């Protein structure tokens, strides 16, 4: 180790640590004063108690839940770290380990084939030795159209990959490259001529893909996406052109699916790819990509290998996680589709605590971390009990096993036959796939649970956030799809929270306290937020409607405590937005969408998990619709909410607005007209009036969608009328119960 040269470095942002820890201490002191104020109510002499106990208790519980949510977020802010890598220090290409790329697609109707194939092509163009790169496309729908499109993508890649390498293109995705101003060798006539030819080939590719998809819509499908046999095809037609540049092997995989077998969503597809790829390439490292997340920088593999190949970290690092970034984010990101807080703040702190969890896509993971390490002396029957009956797959688990894939040979045919067995829906029966090995099946959010389990076993992970986005995807740009996506995520997280796998139960003694609390925050945050926000959205308003004060008077010294907590929370979140170079409107949008998600997605997702736990409802997985609608995109780019969503997502928003509006207007009317001493009423009820006013102003877009807007994307009258009924019911029944 005397000549050891590090391939990476990690630095701690000291200013952020000082600001974060100072704020945490001061804010905590204010919270303790708040708790003292609330508790002192219960120790008053009974004749002095003029406020009903139930609403006081409920708002106190809401405050405690929100304070707990805030406290958990401080563990991310305790020690954020930032990393730099040095790919130029990697060993020579012939010493680099092989990589398998897994690309998952589930529904050709919701995931445009042109986008999917761009992801495939960009993965094949990674800056990595082609003989050590293998790309696998998992088609969970078993669509003939996807198979045909994959073959078209491979034919185009035969020309695209050499073109990228010859001119050193930094944009490996053809769709992005031809729609941008990047042109590399501006003064080279040869380059311009080749670029024009390549663009023509790409236009032909798009036309062919669209024609295939259109034909697939009109033809009667041979296979149903929930009932079809396994299909595995290695797309590597051998062409003997002179001086042809090698390109990676491309493999199409569609696992067998039957209605009688649970397919375990994305985790099930990834485990099939683990087994099939072991037979064909058995690379020690795996890159997992969503079908719409193309490789924006071809150097990502080399950057990840700076950790996986470093002798000081290679034995302990399970995976290297890159952020999710999106190329269709508007300047005014009204739905917070970029997930700014997660990838710019949260994951840096997660990394400083012990490593982030898996984020679903954009991570290079070690195969050994998922399957374990075995030797030839391992008990064969024990391995079969864990990994299934295939002797051929068991061979791949031995450290020195190297697959022998021969093009167009008898060995290849036999190998693919064995691989088809591994992709059958019954292969995992009576094994530990999904429970102890591979990607885990406990919930629909396989990434969180698998990452948590790896960290419990002692593995580590790192988070790389380079200046140039390594991967670019397509995010949801309408309210309905955003809500569906978040509801699915929340359902998976809450199912972990209310299970025996809750980090608080099975994490202690196996992880550091800070790392454990980071995992707990991710799992518990939706449930804590939905319960607390519903409390703040209704309880003070019902009491305001009935003239019952829940907050101290303005003249009371305790009012300062509530003011400090509110201003402190607002100021800190605004500071974090501005310090990362974002604008004030980003903060405004994030604050609003947090309230919106809390009463919709967080609520429904948590409820879905609870019903699933009780056995009332089965877990479901709805793929996000990635098909773009020009009208919806236009509204999103203009910063206008598109309320063409399910009533179940609209009704809670409208109900909250109506209840707050009724309470605020009623209080103003009482203060100005009814009450003889208006100043005293304002002083007594100011806290609740301000809260209602703040909620109304922050969510003005909902009021606009209900009353002002008359376009197709406004809130439907039917949803508003149903919400009026619910609001009246809440005001009447809630007032009777609480007051």
Catalytic residue check, 333: no
Q: How many CB atoms lie within 10 A of CB 571?
A: 11
Mean pLDDT of 592-615: 93
What pLDDT is stored for residue 244 in this prediction?
Answer: 62
What pLDDT is stored for residue 476 in this prediction?
Answer: 86
What pLDDT is stored for residue 514 in this prediction?
Answer: 94
Mean pLDDT of 215-223: 58
Long-range interactions of 631-635: CB distance < 8 A, separation 24+? 631/712, 631/713, 632/477, 632/478, 632/713, 633/328, 633/477, 635/478, 635/713
Q: Cβ distance 436 to 371 under 8 Å?
A: no
Annotated binding-site residue numbers for Mn(2+): 266, 290
What pLDDT is stored for residue 509 in this prediction?
Answer: 79
The pTM of the full predicted model, rounded to 2 decimals, is: 0.92
Closest Cα to residue 636, out of 327, 338, 330?
Answer: 330
Question: Rounded CA gap, 398 and 432, in Å?
Answer: 18
Beta pairing, strands 99-105 & 8-12: unpaired
Any idea which residue has 């607005």 for tokens?
657
Q: Cβ distance 691 to 700 under 8 Å?
A: no
**Domains within the chain, CATH numbers bracketed:** 89-476 (3.90.550.10), 499-738 (no CATH)
- Residue 242 pLDDT level (bands cut at 50, 70, 90): very low
| Burial track 39-75 (b if 16+ CB lie within 10 A, e otherwise) | eeeeeeeeeeeeeeeebbebbbebbbbbbebbebbbb
Mean pLDDT of 194-198: 92
Catalytic residue check, 140: yes
Which residues have a Cβ under 8 Å from the Cβ of 23 and sit 6 or more positions away? 568, 572
DSSP symbol at 374: B
Name the β-bridge partners of 133.
99
DSSP symbol at 261: S
Q: Chain-wide mean pLDDT for the chain?
A: 89
Mean pLDDT of 266-272: 94
- pLDDT tens sequence across 363-396: 999 999 999 988 777 888 888 999 999 988 998 8
Question: Rounded CA gap, 125 and 161, in Å?
Answer: 5
Q: Output the six-digit token pair for 554.
A: 């303005």
Mean pLDDT of 32-57: 85
For the cut 60, the answer to whether the pLDDT of residue 237 exceeds it is: no
Dihedral (CA of 36, 42, 46, 50) sign: positive
User: Please, is 614 exposed, middle or buried when counting C-beta atoms within 10 Å of its C-beta (0-12, 13-18, 19+)?
Assistant: exposed
Mean pLDDT of 703-728: 92
What pLDDT is stored for residue 641 in this prediction?
Answer: 92
For the cut 90, the answer to whether the pLDDT of residue 697 exceeds it is: yes
Q: How many CB atoms lie within 10 A of CB 230?
A: 20
Mean pLDDT of 195-207: 94
Of 140, 175, 292, 608, the catalytic one is 140
Looking at per-residue confidence, does 689 or 181 come out higher?
689
For the cut 50, the answer to whether the pLDDT of residue 685 exceeds it is: yes
Q: How many CB atoms lie within 10 A of CB 709?
A: 16
Tell me the percentage of the chain whose pLDDT exceeds 90. 65
What pLDDT is stored for residue 232 in this prediction?
Answer: 93
Question: Rounded CA gap, 327 and 173, in Å?
Answer: 12
Which of 164-168, 445-449, 460-464 reaches the highest mean pLDDT?
Answer: 460-464
What pLDDT is stored for residue 2 in this prediction?
Answer: 57
What pLDDT is stored for residue 184 in this prediction?
Answer: 56
- pLDDT tens sequence across 538-589: 999 999 998 899 999 998 999 999 999 999 999 999 999 998 888 888 999 9
What pLDDT is stored for residue 220 in this prediction?
Answer: 44
- Residue 350 pLDDT level (bands cut at 50, 70, 90): very high
Annotated binding-site residue numbers: 110-111, 140, 266, 290
For the cut 90, the answer to whether the pLDDT of residue 209 exceeds it is: yes
- Helix, strand, coil shares, percent, the chain, to 5: 55, 10, 35
Name the β-bridge partners of 228.
257
What pLDDT is stored for residue 190 in this prediction?
Answer: 86
Of 139, 297, 447, 642, the catalytic one is 447
Give one word for 220, left, alpha or beta, with left for phi > 0 and alpha for psi -120 to 50.
beta
For the cut 80, the answer to whether the pLDDT of residue 676 exceeds it is: no
What pLDDT is stored for residue 696 in this prediction?
Answer: 96
What pLDDT is stored for residue 45 in this prediction?
Answer: 62
User: What phi, psi does 600 have (nearest 5°)?
Assistant: -120, -80
Q: For the chain, what's the residue count?
A: 739
Annotated binding-site residue numbers for UDP-alpha-D-glucose: 110-111, 140
What pLDDT is stored for residue 222 in this prediction?
Answer: 47
User: Please, is 149 exposed, middle or buried when counting C-beta atoms within 10 Å of its C-beta (0-12, 13-18, 19+)?
Assistant: buried
- Residue 228 pLDDT level (bands cut at 50, 70, 90): confident
Question: Rounded CA gap, 498 and 718, in Å?
Answer: 36
Looking at per-residue confidence, does 619 or 598 come out higher?
598
For the cut 70, the answer to whether the pLDDT of residue 597 exceeds it is: yes
């Amino acid at each position: 180790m005397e000549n050891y040269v590090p391939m990476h470095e990690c630095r701690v942002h000291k200013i952020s640590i000082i600001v974060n820890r100072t704020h945490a201490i001061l804010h905590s002191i204010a919270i303790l004063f708040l708790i003292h104020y609330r508790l002192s109510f219960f120790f008053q002499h009974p004749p002095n108690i003029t406020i009903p106990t139930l609403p006081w208790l409920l708002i106190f519980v809401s405050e405690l839940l929100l304070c707990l949510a805030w406290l958990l977020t401080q563990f991310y802010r305790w020690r954020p770290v930032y990393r730099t890598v040095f790919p130029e220090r990697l060993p020579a290409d012939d010493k680099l380990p092989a990589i398998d790329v897994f690309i998952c697609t589930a529904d050709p109707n919701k995931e445009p084939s042109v986008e999917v194939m761009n992801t495939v092509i960009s993965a094949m163009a990674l800056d990595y030795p082609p003989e050590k790169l293998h790309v696998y496309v998992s088609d969970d729908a078993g669509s003939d159209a996807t198979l045909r499109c994959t073959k078209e993508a491979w034919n185009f890649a035969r020309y695209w990959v050499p073109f990228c390498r010859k001119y050193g293109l930094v944009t490996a995705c053809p769709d992005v490259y031809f729609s941008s101003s990047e042109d590399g060798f501006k003064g080279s006539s040869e380059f311009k001529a080749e670029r024009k030819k390549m663009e023509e080939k790409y236009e032909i590719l798009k036309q062919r893909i669209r024609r295939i998809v259109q034909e697939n819509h009109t033809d009667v499908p041979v296979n149903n996406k929930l009932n079809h046999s396994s299909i595995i095809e290695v797309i590597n037609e051998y062409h003997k052109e002179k001086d042809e540049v090698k390109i990676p092997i491309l493999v199409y995989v569609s696992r067998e699916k039957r209605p009688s077998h649970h397919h375990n969503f994305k985790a099930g597809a990834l485990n099939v790819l683990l087994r099939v790829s072991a037979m064909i390439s058995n690379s020690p490292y795996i890159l997992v990509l969503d079908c719409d997340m193309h490789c924006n920088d071809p150097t990502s593999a080399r950057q990840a290998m700076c950790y996986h190949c470093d002798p000081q970290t290679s034995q302990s690092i399970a995976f290297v996680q890159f952020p999710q970034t999106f190329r269709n984010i508007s300047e005014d990101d009204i739905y917070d589709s970029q997930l700014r807080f997660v990838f710019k703040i949260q994951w840096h702190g997660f990394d400083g605590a012990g490593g982030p969890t898996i984020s679903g896509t954009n991570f290079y993971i070690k195969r050994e971390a998922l399957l374990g390490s075995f030797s030839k002396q391992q008990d064969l029957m024990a391995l079969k009990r864990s990994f299934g009956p295939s002797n051929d797959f068991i061979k791949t688990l031995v450290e020195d096993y190297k697959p022998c894939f021969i093009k167009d040979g008898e060995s290849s045919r036999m190998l693919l036959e064995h691989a088809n067995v591994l992709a059958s829906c019954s292969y995992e029966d009576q094994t530990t796939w999904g429970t102890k090995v591979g990607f885990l099946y406990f919930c629909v959010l396989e990434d969180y649970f698998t990452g948590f389990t790896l960290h419990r076993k002692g593995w580590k992970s790192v988070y790389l956030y380079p200046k140039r986005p390594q991967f670019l995807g397509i995010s949801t740009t309408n309210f309905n799809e955003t809500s569906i996506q978040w509801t699915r995520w929340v359902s998976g997280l809450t199912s972990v929270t209310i299970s025996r796998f809750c980090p608080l139960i099975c994490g202690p003694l196996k992880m550091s306290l800070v790392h454990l609390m980071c995992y707990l925050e991710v799992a518990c945050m939706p449930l804590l937020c939905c319960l607390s926000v519903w409390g703040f959205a209704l309880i003070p308003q019902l009491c305001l409607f009935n003239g019952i004060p829940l907050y101290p008077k303005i003249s009371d010294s305790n009012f300062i405590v509530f003011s400090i907590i509110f201003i402190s929370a607002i100021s800190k979140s605004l500071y974090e937005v501005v310090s990362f170079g974002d604008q004030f409107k980003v903060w405004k949008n994030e604050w609003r969408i947090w309230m919106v998600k809390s009463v919709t997605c967080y609520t429904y997702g948590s409820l879905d998990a609870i019903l699933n736990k009780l056995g009332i409802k089965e877990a479901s997985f709805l793929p996000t619709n990635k098909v773009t609608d020009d009208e919806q995109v236009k509204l999103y780019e203009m910063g206008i909410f598109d309320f063409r969503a399910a009533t179940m997502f609209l009704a809670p928003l409208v109900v909250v607005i109506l209840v707050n509006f009724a309470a605020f207007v009623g209080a103003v009317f009482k203060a100005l007209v009814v009450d003889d001493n208006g100043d005293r009423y304002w002083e007594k009820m100011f806290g609740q009036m301000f809260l209602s006013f703040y909620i109304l102003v922050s969510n003005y877009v909902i009021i606009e969608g209900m009353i002002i807007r008359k376009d197709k994307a406004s809130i439907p009258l039917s949803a508003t009328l149903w919400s009026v009924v619910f609001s009246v019911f809440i005001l009447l029944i809630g007032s009777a119960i609480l007051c």
